[in-house]
Amino acid sequence: MLDFLILFLPQFVFRFINPFNILVMEGIIFDIKHYALHDGPGVRQTVFLKGCPLSCWWCHNPESRGSEPFSFRKEEKIDGHVVAEQETVGRKINVQDLMKEIEKDTLLFEESGGGVTFSGGEPLLQFDFMLEALKRCKSHEIHTCVDTTAYVSKEKLQHIAEFTDLFMIDLKQMDDRLHKKYTGVTNVLILENIRRLDAEGKKIWIRYPLIPDMNDQEENLLKMLAFLQRLKQKPVVSILPYHKIGSHKYKRFGLEYKMNGTYEPEPEQIERVKNLFEQAGFIACVGG
Amino acid sequence: MNKRIEKLRKQSQEAVPRISAERALLITEFYQSSLSRRVSVPVRRALAFKHILENKSLCINEGELIVGERGPAPKAVPTYPEITLHSIHDLEVLDSRPKVWFRVDEETKQIYRDKIIPFWEGQSNRDKIFASMNKEWKAAYEAGVFTEFQEQRAPGHTVLGNKMFRKGFLDLKAEIAVAVDRLDFFNDSKAYAKREELKAMDIAADAIIAFAKRYAAALKKRAGEETNPGRKAELLKMVAICERVPAHAPQTFHEALQHYWFIHLGVITEVNPWDSFNPGRLDQHLFPFYKKEIDEGSLTQETAKELLEAFWVKFNNHPAPPKIGVTAKESSTYTDFALINLGGVKADGSDAVNSLSYLILDVIEEMRILQPGSMIQVSKKNPDRFIKRAARIIRTGFGQPSVFNSDAIVQELLRQGKSLEDARNGGASGCVETGAFGTESYILTGYFNLPKVFEITLNNGTDPVTGKKIGLKTGNPAEFTTFENMMAAFQKQLQYFIDLKIKGNNLIDRIIAENIPVPFLSLVIDDCIANGKDYNDGGARYNTSYIQGVGLGTLTDVLTSVKYNVFDQKKYTLNELLEAALRDFEGDEVLRNDLLNHTPKYGNDDDYADEQAVLIFNLFYESVNGRPTTKGGYFRINMLPTTSHVYFGSVVGASLDGRKAGKPLSEGISPFQGADRKGPSAVIRSAAKIDHLKTGGTLLNQKFNPSLLDDEKGLDALVALIRTYFRMDGHHIQFNVVTADTLRDAQKHPENHKDLIVRVAGYSDYFNDLGEELQNEIIRRTEHSGF
């Protein structure tokens, strides 16, 4: 018994009582994508953190929503037979292990001018973990990008801004009533945070998910333009046309998909929106 | 592409591959002559070469700018009965097999029946080789442990250096005269052999000069009959060119191309060498001619491009000689592996990319043709623009050009003892083989089936597919108590089969050196003249023999599976896995799912799996590298499969990584099809864990969804991916830019995809020309797509 205590007690204390929080800082992620081309400059490694305060109808990562890992039944077809098994979405990872994974791509980051992108979910829901990971990245000279909803406190944003080279923030809907309807939260804080980061000179890429009937109205586009034009810097605007790629996930995870009537926007419409932004003097691109 | 080239290209693509008995008749006629019996072997070979070139039919295609065909017409393929004698049955198989067929008419069969077979039966080099191999070698060969490259085709594999773009054959004759003068009949016991070899080279030089003169005469006659004044002038210009080269060094761009083409024809007429022949660093060799004439105003970019395109057609007119049996399985393609090198570094180490490199890339893009193959050499000194230009061609999805690491190639050659200049003048040929161009004989001797050796190890020396004992008794697998135990047994088994292979190679080398010297090839590769020694007998400055390892990804996954499931996790016993494999996993879906989906796999940058790749690689390397050949050179390894991974897979039962019996192995150093799930950056990191610099070439294939390359960002990312792999000393990477859906549709409706060209392994091929198993294998390769 004594042996047992000597061997295992320190680990036990370390893991669960966790007096040195920083050393074993753990987060919950649900995916890491290497060779991501659309999540910032160069080739990125995108780390997806679990948990999100929003519940956008069109979300293509619905597995990000809850903050805890969950299991679902997965079926593998082997030789014509179905093998059913439980698969878990989301896993704990400590900062050291995450850094090991990120640093695997160091040479590719250097060659491509890329870096790491933290996405989600909303990465800042796991604030301490994010802060620590960002600090370590910066101390390793890795370009950092945070893909955030900006639906977080200004203090948190300010705090991580020191270690963030680029923010990517969605402008989903300017009308707060519709914003609440389609995302579940108000846009007031989001817009304020964008203004504040901009005023402080932080680099921001704006992403506009173009969702037919939900945020592609003329009025919304004009309001977006007006908002963006009042910013100090001219952010890059990425238009992300709605696509159904994520829809199968809703079924797989047993979630309700509210987008069944929505069509994917036509290329002409995408081009029109792109021109609108370009004529207003923004660098606009589709995807990425 | 202008009208002329369009027509020539179409003619080439539509020409029907067929067997021509012309060469077989001529060589038989010569070997039956009394002259043949009066002379030494090298001289006999040279005189036979001369006899063929003096009597073979000439071919001038309508509108051609570069002339000369190996057979009587495009894709009319000669045979080489002194090397491989085809039986009537073989000819019937060639004619009727569904893929890579050659039409054989009745007349050809009759000639074979009456004249060729009666004379050569039992006398071909192939017969001599098989008669000399012992029963252990034969048992291993028949079980598919290794293949034998020289059983149907002569060695060759080499590439022309810069010398022959600065010299004519009259210059070589002068060198021969000097070498003969220097022979020391008092102190050199080899003086007679050297004299005979030099005499043979001299005859071969005369033969190629006379052959060009025959073309000059034929062109002159054609010019006399020509009514179109434009074409007439062209023909007269070609007459002057064929009167000048290859006797003299070329002076113009057009002459340089025709000069090379005569040399090419000489090499592939003399014997049926592997990888045909190859001008190598084409942008380097041609640049002085190009620049001079562009500066003078005697050549335009447009004319240069037209000439290059006419030159491209000539390669495409020449399918690989007909292959049968195991050789047809390991290299099941019409492609004959001439691989044009572009870029890289110059002899002084500086950036070699020039304006002609870009022009040739335009040619490759426009021609979109199987042969010749093309590649770019990428050095850290080359600009990104060069790679990006090539990437724009790669994304059009016909697998060309492939991409090589010049800086790694130079280090590989230096490690093998080449001088720095010779290394920098080198490159890659065939699929991915490293060579010092113009100075090295580097031959592939056969593929080696690494997973098969492990399968035999797990069966204590017996081949479970046939039940025959063909290996060593290295212990009952039940007694492998640790992973290390098991690997020790594997190492013994590996060494045993490598020894068999090397012993066989050393015998075969002598059989070839004594029976099939190649005085013509020896003329153009240094230092055969100075040494008075044949290319096939160690005459070249450097001599290397390769054994090509196959199935690295599969064996890595198999060993990892045993380590993980049996020794570490103890989820299954080795016996349980072996029994399931014996049943081909019938009724073992859960177990097979564990093996396929819950066991670490090579190709995901997971050290747990990749460590086994390094282990296998090192064992293979240690067992082969540095052992002496009979030609004064050394054995080395490289890692490429052509199509042998399909053949080798067909002789390996179900494996412990979950692969079903008879299915293809992994190819090159690529992960097993579908096992790499973390994207291309993880693949290159896994692949870079083995030490590429210890090889003479490795082959990494990646399948990309076209969407990944449809914008500038995707192209830039590809450039970065290539640079990253090469910073880690990766040797070569190539891309299939096509969706699995397209390939599946092509399998169902071949008629709609006649022009679909895909990358196989070190070469491109028409998808329709691939066997079904190989088609499936390519479909199953992981398709990396955008995120």
CA angle B609, B761, B394 (to 5 degrees): 105
Instruction: Provide the sign of the torsion angle of the four alpha carbons A272, A277, A278, A280, taken in this order.
Output: positive
* Nearest beta carbon to residue B593 from set A33, A76, A108: A76
pLDDT tens by residue, B334-348: 999 999 999 999 999
- CA-nearest residue to B595 within chain A is A78
The pair of structure tokens assigned to B76 is 């009319």
pLDDT (0 to 100) of residue A47 = 98
Q: What is the pLDDT of residues B378-391, one digit of tens each?
A: 999 999 999 999 99
DSSP E strands in B573-714: the ranges are: 634-638, 700-704
Residues constituting chain A: 288
- Find the mean pLDDT for residues B169-191: 98
**Model pLDDT, residue A3:** 53
Which pLDDT does position A288 carry in this prediction? Answer: 66
Residue A13 has pLDDT above 50, yes or no: no
Q: How confident is the model at residue A1 (pLDDT cuts 50, 70, 90)?
A: very low
Q: Which of A34, A37, A81 sits opposite B589 (nearest CB)?
A: A81
* Contact (CB<8Å) A35/B681: yes
**Measured between beta carbons, which residues in chain B are less than 8 angstroms from residue A83?**
589-590, 593
Please check whether residue A200 is in contact with residue A161, taking contact to mean a CB–CB distance below 8 angstroms. Answer: yes
Burial class (CB in 10 A: 0-12, 13-18, 19+), B42: buried
The Cα–Cα gap between A197 and B593 comes to 49
- Rounded mean pLDDT, B137-146: 98
> CA B4 to CA B255: how far, in whole Å?
19
Contact B787 A111 (CB under 8 A): no
Q: Which of B365, B433, B440, B777 is catalytic?
A: B433
Whether A23 shows a pLDDT value over 80: the answer reads: no
Instruction: Using the CB atoms, write b or e for B96-133: b if 16+ within 10 Å.
Output: eeebbbbebeeebbebbeebbbebbeeebbbebbeeeb
Strand partners, B292: none
Q: Is the torsion defined by CA of B205, B208, B209, B210 positive or negative?
A: positive
C-alpha to C-alpha distance for A61 and A56, rounded to whole angstroms: 10
| In chain B, % of residues over pLDDT 90 | 92
Among B104, B85, B147, residue whose Cα is nearest residue B328? B147
The yes-or-no verdict on residue B698 having pLDDT over 70 is yes
C-alpha distances out from residue B334 to A13, B264, B400, B669, Å: 68, 17, 16, 24
Catalytic (active site) residue B59: no
CB contact under 8 A, A83 and B590: yes
Residue B230 scores a pLDDT above 90: yes
Least confident of A68-82, B254-268, B536-550, B574-588: A68-82
Model confidence at A79, pLDDT cuts 50, 70, 90, reads: confident
Q: Chain B residues with CB inside 8 Å of A78's CB?
A: 589, 592-593, 596
User: What pLDDT does B786 receive?
Assistant: 61
Residue B512 has pLDDT above 90, yes or no: yes
Given CB atoms, is B388 within the 8 Å cutoff of chain A? Answer: no
Minimal CA separation from B716 to chain A, in Å: 7
Which residue from B444, B514, B620, B676 is spatially nearest to B132, judged by alpha carbons?
A: B514
Nearest-by-Cβ selection for B720 from A36, A108, A288: A108
* Three-state secondary structure call for residue B745: helix
Distance (Å, whole) CA A280 – CA B102:
65
Q: Please list every residue in chain A whose beta carbon sits closer than 8 Å to the beta carbon of residue B589.
A: 78-79, 81, 83
Q: Could you tell me the pTM of the whole model? A: 0.95
pLDDT tops 90 at residue B269 = yes
Q: What is the pLDDT of residues B421-465, one digit of tens each?
A: 999 999 999 999 999 999 999 999 999 999 999 999 999 999 999
Cα separation of B301 and B295, whole Å?
11
pLDDT per residue as tens digits for the range A275-286: 999 999 999 999
- The C-alpha atoms of residue B371 and residue B368 are separated, in whole angstroms, by 9
Of B678, B724, B786, the CB nearest to A37: B786
In chain B, the residue whose alpha carbon lies closest to the alpha carbon of A112 is B720
Q: What interface predicted TM-score (ipTM) does this complex get? A: 0.93
Q: Which of A37, A60, A117 to mutate to test the interface with B (most CBs of B within 10 A)?
A: A37
Decide if pLDDT at B225 tops 90: yes
- Residue range A119-148: mean pLDDT, rounded: 97
Count, residues in chain B: 787
Q: What pLDDT, in 10s, does the model give residues B20-31?
A: 999 999 999 999
Active site residue B431: yes
Q: State the Cα–Cα distance between residues B101 and B92, nearest whole angstrom.
A: 10
Within 13 Å and on the Cβ side, how many CA atoms surround A157? 27
Domain A24-286 belongs to what architecture? Alpha-Beta Barrel (3.20)
In angstroms, the CA B17 to CA B693 distance is: 39
User: Three-class SS string for B757-784?
Assistant: EEECCCCEEEHHHCCHHHHHHHHHCCEE
The answer to whether B706 contacts chain A (CB < 8 Å) is no
Q: Give the pLDDT confidence score for residue A17 in this predicted structure.
A: 47
Domain boundaries, chain A: 24-286
Q: Judge whether B653 and B584 are in contact, CB under 8 Å.
A: yes
The dihedral region occupied by B551, where left means phi > 0, alpha psi between -120 and 50, and beta the remainder, is: left
Joined together, the tokens standing for residue A240 give 């992300």
